[in-house]
Amino acid sequence: MTNIRDLAKMAGVSVTTVSRVLNNHPYVSEEKKNAVLKAVKATRYHKNINAVHLSKGKTKLIGVVLPFTDHPYFALLLKGIAKQALEYNHKLLLFQTDYMESRETEALQMLQQKQIDGLIICSRACSMRKIEEYLPFGPIALCECVKGGEISSTYIDHYKIFMDALEFLYRKGHTKIGYCIGRKSGTNSRNRDKAYWDFHEKYHLPHHPEYIFDQCYDYEDGERVLSRVKEMDPPPSALLVTSDQVAAGIVISCNKQQISIPDELAIIGFDNEPIAGMLNITTIDIPLVEMGRNLVHQVLTKEIKNKEISATLIERGTV
């Protein structure tokens, strides 16, 4: 592998001059510049980028932490992140965690070890305290509301959205409402749960903990939820489903079993994934691509900001 010292010898100049030419710095005579360029051509020289990283202390790499990529929510978020990273001329280092804290730690350590210039955590299993520990080593952006501090975030007010959706159903006459969620433990999930119980308090509705279904990610989970709902007495008359994919599973199962939507069961999905449009599912549009873009922006500009992104109810045929 030829390096800039070799080039310098070949071109009869110093390494400094070579470096200048390579980085388009001014103050290099045409003559020497051409000599260097000629040597570059002749040797098919290419920089060893690790040396650049070491010397500069930067890598133009952003870490992205997410549990899995084969779910529309994260796939769309990642799409936005990738688009914006491209515009900023940065690349992405992927940490697929399956919600394992050890892998999140690994990502945080990469920040500390300077392999990445910043980190985007799309969803986390570890504590905020732990994340804060790593803040001195580089900017971190999250997808959940973070009050104050040095962490940036781009988030949805899930409490408000959930409450709005519940009220919407209530106005349509629903009082037995359940919901489906992925994890119970995330910040966003807890906000939703709080909205759920506050709603019940507000309207003095009976509590039905069995109307809450967790571990809902895929179509099959929707199928499973429906089979459980069918066995209930009384069953919920409406479901808030925090992924359109799961909502689609429920809708398709209902079709198969001649359960009428929205008459027997009303559904509101989340994310406005492509399948929701296809199946005419009423859903909450969450601009995931935009959120992804903003996360990159926050990490790279290093402005510590908490940006709320608004979600919109899209009325279609399942309510």
Which residues in this chain contact its own copies in the complex, by CB under 8 A? Answer: 46-51, 53-54, 57, 59, 61, 64, 68-72, 75-76, 78-79, 82-83, 86, 91-96, 103, 109-110, 112-115, 218-220, 223, 248-249, 252, 274-275, 277-279
Task: From the list DNA, its own copies, none, pick the one residue 19 interacts with, judged by a Cβ distance below 5 to 8 Å according to partner type.
Answer: DNA
**Helices (runs of H) and strands (runs of E) counted in the chain:** 13, 12
Q: Are the C-beta atoms of residues 177 and 236 closer than 8 Å to each other?
A: yes
Q: Does residue number 19 form part of the binding site for DNA (CB under 7 A)?
A: yes
Inter-helix orientation angle 4-11/15-22, to 10°: 110
Give Dmax over CA atoms of the chain in angstroms.
88
Separation in Å, CA 97 to CA 94, 102, 119, 137, 203? 9, 8, 14, 21, 40
Q: Is the dihedral of CA 273, 72, 88, 104 positive or negative?
A: positive
Q: Does residue number 4 form part of the binding site for DNA (CB under 7 A)?
A: yes
> Residue 125 CB: number of other CB atoms within 10 A?
19
**Order of strands, sheet of 266-270, starting from the edge strand that comes earlier in the sequence:** 212-213, 177-180, 238-241, 266-270, 283-285, 312-314
Q: Does residue number 13 form part of the binding site for DNA (CB under 7 A)?
A: yes
Task: From the list its own copies, DNA, none, pick the one residue 24 interacts with, judged by a Cβ distance below 5 to 8 Å according to partner type.
Answer: none
Any idea which residue has 């799309």 for tokens? 122
Task: From the list DNA, its own copies, none, pick the one residue 175 interacts with, judged by a Cβ distance below 5 to 8 Å according to partner type.
Answer: none
Per rule CB under 7 A, count of chain residues that contact DNA: 30
> Any residues with CB less than 8 A from the CB of 62 and at least 6 apart, and which?
81, 85, 90, 91, 92, 93, 116, 117, 118, 119, 120, 296, 299, 300
- Toward its own copies, which CB reaches closer, 57 or 148? 57
Q: Does residue number 38 form part of the binding site for DNA (CB under 7 A)?
A: no
Task: From the list DNA, its own copies, none, pick the one residue 110 interacts with, judged by a Cβ distance below 5 to 8 Å according to partner type.
Answer: its own copies
- Toward its own copies, which CB reaches closer, 177 or 248? 248
Burial of 79 (0-12, 13-18, 19+ CB in 10 A): middle
Task: From the list its own copies, DNA, none, pick the one residue 218 interacts with, judged by a Cβ distance below 5 to 8 Å according to partner type.
Answer: its own copies
With CB under 7 A as the contact rule, the residue among 56, 129, 171, 204 that binds DNA is 56
Q: Does residue number 84 form part of the binding site for DNA (CB under 7 A)?
A: no
Task: From the list its own copies, DNA, none, pick the one residue 219 interacts with, judged by a Cβ distance below 5 to 8 Å according to partner type.
Answer: its own copies
Residue 107 identity: A
Q: Are the C-beta atoms of residues 244 and 281 closer than 8 Å to each other?
A: yes
With CB under 7 A as the contact rule, the residue among 42, 51, 232, 278 that binds DNA is 51
Task: From the list its own copies, DNA, none, pick the one residue 278 interacts with, judged by a Cβ distance below 5 to 8 Å according to partner type.
Answer: its own copies
Q: Does residue number 26 form part of the binding site for DNA (CB under 7 A)?
A: yes
Q: Does residue number 5 form part of the binding site for DNA (CB under 7 A)?
A: yes
Q: Are the C-beta atoms of residues 233 and 199 closer than 8 Å to each other?
A: no
Report in angstroms how near the CB of residue 248 gets to its own copies at its nearest: 7
Task: Write out the residues near DNA by the rule CB under 7 A.
Answer: 1, 3-5, 12-17, 19-20, 22-23, 26-29, 31-33, 45, 47-48, 51-52, 54-57
